[in-house]
Amino acid sequence: MPSWAEFQPYIVTGLALGGLYALSGVGLVVLYRATGVLNLAFGAVGAMGAFIAYSLIQAGDPGWVAWITCIVFGGVVTLGYGMVFGPALAGRGPLVQSISTLGLALVLFGVIDLAWPTTGGQSPSISFPTDNGGFSVGQLQVNWTQVIALALGVAITVGTAAFLRFSKLGTAMRAMANDREITATLGVPIRRVEAAAWLGCGLLAGIAGIMLADLSALDDTTLTFTVVISSLAAALIGQLRSIPVTFAAAIVIGLVHDLITPITQISNYQDMTPFVLAAIALLVMSRGQVLSRSREEG
């Protein structure tokens, strides 16, 4: 078993990843609460935005233009999808609505493979200026990108929670989550609220995509699937409802995933982390439901 000192560096990398999983998970939860759709294309949208950013940087555009383009791309594509397919699928069940976003994910995945082929062993990558700066905590090296990743996770979580609680639009979203039909009869512009949720989710996908392209890899498979798996697991643990629990679960998933790294006996299984944690959480939560139902029936 590695010593405590050997685990320490992975706290930093795990927290950074956890922060990004958190903002992704929050994006998924907000969209689900407002529209009832689990956006499985979250990772693919961010991935394509990151590849576009990479191409812009390669073409000589300033980094900030590329980063903003990635975020805007995420917002526009997700909003466009929501506006075109959202109304048509609104009457269908959650299975149909969610699987249709998987369709979008696979289309984008294919487009990335076509537009940015990996011939010749070339490897695209994105770096931020913040990669080169940072500070030390004892033996630990922390760079600013990692700090920004965690800070974004915290800020998005706090900001979203406050937005849902205190803003008019947020209140409308919460109302829709509770009862969509009654909310509509009260005169809430449902389509506009849904559009805001799609846009917000897309912008977060863009942010997650560009940040993970730096912190993890500019790789379509990694960005399309890994992000969604980890953030979906966090959202599941938050029962697709609780933003604070989703945040905490995402941080734990990021931390556990990276803290397993020095334990060589199990490090090759670290990709199972989101599954295992989500399964444990669901089992524990369903056990509580069974007990309470038993009591009610008794």
**Binders of other proteins in range 128-187 (CB under 8 A):** 131-132, 134, 141, 143, 145-146, 177-181, 184
Of 201-220, binders to other proteins (CB under 8 A) are 215-217, 219
Our finding on whether 22 is near other proteins (CB under 8 A) is no
Contacts of 270 (CB under 8 A, 6+ apart): 257, 258, 260, 261
Q: How far is the CB of 98 from other proteins (least distance, A)?
A: 5
CB contact at 8 A, 234 and 246: yes
- Closer Cβ to other proteins, 143 or 160, answer by number: 143
Q: How far is the CB of 27 from other proteins (least distance, A)?
A: 14
Q: How far is the CB of 81 from other proteins (least distance, A)?
A: 17
CB contact at 8 A, 59 and 117: no
Q: Supply the angle between the helices 4-35 and 190-215 in degrees, to the nearest 10.
A: 160
Integer-rounded Cα radius of gyration of the chain:
20
- Site mask, other proteins, residues 27-56, x = CB under 8 A? -----xx--x-x-x----------------
Q: Which two tokens stand for residue 69?
A: 């383009």
Of 243-262, binders to other proteins (CB under 8 A) are 257-258, 261-262
Distance CA 82, CA 84 (A): 6
Q: Let me know how many helices (H) and strands (E) the chain has, helices first.
A: 12, 2
Which position among 129, 239, 266, 291 is part of the footprint of other proteins (CB under 8 A)?
Answer: 239
Distance CA 173, CA 170 (A): 5
Our finding on whether 16 is near other proteins (CB under 8 A) is yes
- Closer Cβ to other proteins, 72 or 186, answer by number: 186
Q: How far is the CB of 297 from other proteins (least distance, A)?
A: 17
| Residue matched to tokens 């509580």 | 288
Map residue 298 onto helix, strand or coil.
Answer: coil
- Closer Cβ to other proteins, 169 or 222, answer by number: 222
If you ran DSSP here, which 8-state letter would residue 224 be given? I
Our finding on whether 93 is near other proteins (CB under 8 A) is yes
Q: Which two tokens stand for residue 127?
A: 């770096």
Our finding on whether 25 is near other proteins (CB under 8 A) is no
Of 259-278, binders to other proteins (CB under 8 A) are 261-262, 264, 267-268, 270-271, 274-275, 278
